[in-house]
Structure 1
């Protein structure tokens, strides 16, 4: 079986969960297929064919992505299955599938209809991204959901997708890459006090990741608890202004707050997670959440919002604690205030009890090893490819 993987991100240039997913999946797929071609976007790199998002010059970013998609579709060799990851490559997958008359598989890392805040980020391009994703999903011979929670989300967003074409293959973790690292050079270099509790966040400053809620919740953390944010630049000026104010307010009321804006190497993140007390994931939307698996693999307990696929990763009371969140109430000030206060209470529960933190951390790593190996995920993905080929051939007979 010959496979082409289409992705915007590919190592070493990755910034989100989809990039991590593809970077881990490709080497494992090579064990179970005849060949794996990789098409990505951005700078040239080893192991992939890269396409620049620079045409048409001066156009909206989403339009330039479509331009790169055309280049990508033209570069795909003859294969048996085309597998696209995220809306960025949806049009490339669609075009190549039709041109080569081969099945398209798409993985639902997220869904554009469930991320309306991207209007701020993409402007008119949001209509383009939504159209590209919808069209690819409805054409695809198979849709992979990265959690059970994504199945009803896909059916709700795209009711024209045949439910029989939706398959669940969860995200994974490499427990050899993410494992406890007891060196201290990186964590000490960040200026934190290893004798005091550390609450760590890793992620982008977007509406989706809910970092603003964590910063507000931190006002109610115990006084000796430190806050360590590994968070890159905000998506939009509006988000930047909101976050900057909340961060300044937090800094004015407590010490031990550190914001690391540059993206650290994954090996450095691993050490930070190892020496943290609890990982905070206040996402308001999360199909699964690889970042939680990374924390758990480093024996770190997690406090997370109970949205999307997070409850399929974090077992409440066993590997961490979950906080209920209702996306429909995001404009309800009283609900949001209660969510943030509850989040702080859950954090304090763990930071006050080192034995509980250690027990949850070890249980988390055990769960990662037992349930989320990339080799298992690759085998399941190949099974989806086989189903997609059958579906595609059957559809041609009708």
Structure 2
């Protein structure tokens, strides 16, 4: 069990280290941190340290501190700006009893804080750099730096949180040193706030973008990255029924080359069929919930996905999911119950499988609705943030025990490696 929260004076002092934090959230890791922090505040004395993104408003919460790199590095490589920003975080977390880092952008801050301040470091692995070789296209030489940072943090952390059982397996495969200490790896799934993400009847956001809420709609939401597999969806969409609308809420391309590839594929598709909508800007959450609620089918064509929060968001909004059968997705989407999983192998076969799965649900609205209801039930029952925050605090106490501190230890619920959705 997680030790009781106690009074403010007794609560663990936690430094949460992240690049993304509201209002600057662009991916699943940022969504995770946002909602985890909300749930943790009732359990620990939390201080969030995030990036100060250019032209963005500062975080609204008084316990969140934005950080930036040294001015001399304004035009330097991203990897150098990461190192500089992380060092400011290290200085700021003095006094914390434990630091918890998210993604390679903050992992080095966690590692150096462990060395400098003598406190345990817990890191959450949202994805793994060795399994994302396409990042070299974006980061160039910085990809070698990101891999070094992640390896150093993983192999030295007092506890590593994997967001799925699939991620746990990938961690041990990529970093064999973990095999000698399996007790350091804990599975705590991502969560979903089913009060925010819920089926809604409104359609005004769709109409503003010219989308007909009465037509069958296939929806994609995600960044334009190799990982998210959107080019596969664009090729698969050539086989969709002509009356189906394809809505692509897709932005933030990883590279100029990928942006050009996406635009070319989208343009080619638009020349062969109507009802293709591309929305590059990030939608406000209330509008996103409308899009998810009104979609006939949500598609996640990722070629690598440790868990896939966006699938949980679609399920919570009562929408059937078609997704690739990779990583942690099968731990979220139950094949034949909340959606359909498509094997991700040879590209042409994968794309044909996506088209077939989407077509089967568009052609059977009753089955799609049944999947949507079951998905909503699963999201509510298995992925609540309160339970996930409690399991995270259990990992903190286990890490303190590993590092020789007080509290927790082997035998806590988190040590079983079973996350909130197990």
- Aligned 8 A contact 2:28 2:309 in 1: yes
Per-residue CA deviations over 1:166-217 (Å, capped at 9, x if unaligned) read 0000000000010011111101111112221100000000000000000100
State the alpha-carbon separation in 2 of the partners of residues 54 and 228 from structure 1.
41
Q: Secondary structure of 2:336's partner?
A: coil
- Aligned 8 A contact 1:106 1:137 in 2: yes
User: 2:411 maps to which residue?
Assistant: none
State the alpha-carbon separation in 1 of the partners of residues 253 and 324 from structure 2.
21
Bigger drift between 90-99 and 284-293 goes to: 90-99
User: 1:362 maps to which residue?
Assistant: 373
Q: Secondary structure of 1:149's partner?
A: helix
State the alpha-carbon separation in 1 of the partners of residues 340 and 276 from structure 2.
22
The answer on 1:380 being equivalent to 2:391 is: yes
1:222-371 → structure 2 map (5 Å cutoff): 222-326=241-345, 335-371=346-382
- Aligned 8 A contact 2:203 2:213 in 1: no
TM-fit CA distance, 1:57: 3.2
Q: Secondary structure of 1:243's partner?
A: helix
The answer on 1:392 being equivalent to 2:406 is: no
Q: Which runs of 4+ in 1 moved over 6 A?
A: none
Per-residue CA deviations over 1:354-387 (Å, capped at 9, x if unaligned) read 1111100000000001100000000000000010
Match of 1:45 among 38, 59, 74: 59
State the alpha-carbon separation in 1 of the partners of residues 404 and 112 from structure 2.
18
State the alpha-carbon separation in 2 of the partners of residues 70 and 234 from structure 1.
28
State the alpha-carbon separation in 2 of the partners of residues 357 and 21 from structure 1.
27
Match of 1:178 among 194, 197, 216: 197
Match of 2:26 among 2, 10, 15: 15
TM-fit CA distance, 1:58: 2.4
The total of aligned residue pairs comes to 386
Per-residue CA deviations over 1:3-44 (Å, capped at 9, x if unaligned) read 1100000012100001000000011111222x0000000243
User: 2:163 maps to which residue?
Assistant: 146
Per-residue CA deviations over 1:43-81 (Å, capped at 9, x if unaligned) read 432221111245523221111111000011111141111
State the alpha-carbon separation in 2 of the partners of residues 2 and 91 from structure 1.
19
State the alpha-carbon separation in 2 of the partners of residues 118 and 53 from structure 1.
22
User: 2:420 maps to which residue?
Assistant: none
State the alpha-carbon separation in 1 of the partners of residues 146 and 36 from structure 2.
24
The answer on 1:155 being equivalent to 2:169 is: no
- Aligned 8 A contact 2:217 2:245 in 1: yes
TM-score w.r.t. length of structure 1: 0.95
The answer on 1:105 being equivalent to 2:119 is: no
Per-residue CA deviations over 1:86-107 (Å, capped at 9, x if unaligned) read 0000111111111111100000
Computed over aligned residues only, the root mean square deviation of the Cα atoms, in angstroms, reads 1.2
- Aligned 8 A contact 1:63 1:128 in 2: no
- Aligned 8 A contact 2:14 2:99 in 1: yes
Match of 1:6 among 17, 38, 63: 17
State the alpha-carbon separation in 2 of the partners of residues 223 and 15 from structure 1.
32
Per-residue CA deviations over 1:313-333 (Å, capped at 9, x if unaligned) read 00000000000014xxxxxxx
Question: Unpaired runs of 5+ in structure 1?
Answer: 327-334
Per-residue CA deviations over 1:285-321 (Å, capped at 9, x if unaligned) read 0000000000000000000000000000000000000
Question: Unpaired runs of 5+ in structure 2?
Answer: 1-11, 406-422
- Aligned 8 A contact 2:218 2:299 in 1: yes
Per-residue CA deviations over 1:222-255 (Å, capped at 9, x if unaligned) read 1111100001132111101211111111000000
State the alpha-carbon separation in 1 of the partners of residues 50 and 74 from structure 2.
19
- Aligned 8 A contact 1:82 1:93 in 2: yes
**Alpha-carbon distance change, 270 to 53 in structure 1, aligned in 2, over 3 angstroms:** farther
Per-residue CA deviations over 1:260-308 (Å, capped at 9, x if unaligned) read 0111111110001111100000000000000000000000000000000
Bigger drift between 212-221 and 182-191 goes to: 182-191
Bigger drift between 173-182 and 56-65 goes to: 56-65
State the alpha-carbon separation in 1 of the partners of residues 244 and 75 from structure 2.
47
State the alpha-carbon separation in 1 of the partners of residues 310 and 204 from structure 2.
22
State the alpha-carbon separation in 2 of the partners of residues 314 and 53 from structure 1.
40
